[in-house]
Amino acid sequence: MSARLAASWSRLGPYFQSLLRMVAALMFLQAGTMKWFGWPAPMPGGGAHPALFSQMGIGGMLEIVGGTLLLVGLFTRPVAFILSGEMAVAYFQFHQPNGFWPIVNQGQPAVLYCFIWLFFSAAGPGPWSVDALFRRSR
């Protein structure tokens, strides 16, 4: 019985992969909309919008555009790779100087996103994605 249940559960893995991509992308997208549009909440520290070509402005645009592409699963591997790099830079530039441990320097989201996006750059988007639709239509 348990072997059959485990086999049934493991067949759902690709669908949970897609679900993880979509949920993580939605959370990531909100970081960008917060920076650029003050939605769903204003940026901490006054809520000012970043200059377009500032580091914060470029990061916000990557989060909006990349998060949207990952949400629908389009160009997943290259976008996820770029966003993984963005999060590595964010961690080492903004969080790591405030302490070694992510729990201390409040870098847990940057570390998690870095490795989640790195995973999707290698594993792909899963079956619920525009990329998968394109593969099936060929």
Amino acid at 127: P
| Residue for token pair 């394109």 | 134
Computed over every residue of the chain, the mean pLDDT equals 94
Contact 131, 75 (CB under 8 A): yes
Q: Is 43 within a domain?
A: yes
Q: Is 5 within a domain?
A: no
Confidence at residue 114, expressed as pLDDT on a 0 to 100 scale:
98
pTM here is: 0.92
Confidence at residue 85, expressed as pLDDT on a 0 to 100 scale:
98
Q: Is 4 within a domain?
A: no
Q: Is 1 within a domain?
A: no
Confidence at residue 49, expressed as pLDDT on a 0 to 100 scale:
82
Confidence at residue 13, expressed as pLDDT on a 0 to 100 scale:
95
Q: Is 8 within a domain?
A: no
Contact 69, 55 (CB under 8 A): no
Structural domains counted in the chain: 1
Domain housing 56: 13-137
Q: What is the 3-state secondary structure (H, E, C) of the chain?
A: CHHHHHHHHHHCHHHHHHHHHHHHHHHHHHHHHHHHHCCCCCCCCCCCCCCCCCHHHHHHHHHHHHHHHHHHCCCHHHHHHHHHHHHHHHHHHHHHHHCCCHHHHCCHHHHHHHHHHHHHHHHCCCCCCHHHHHHHHC
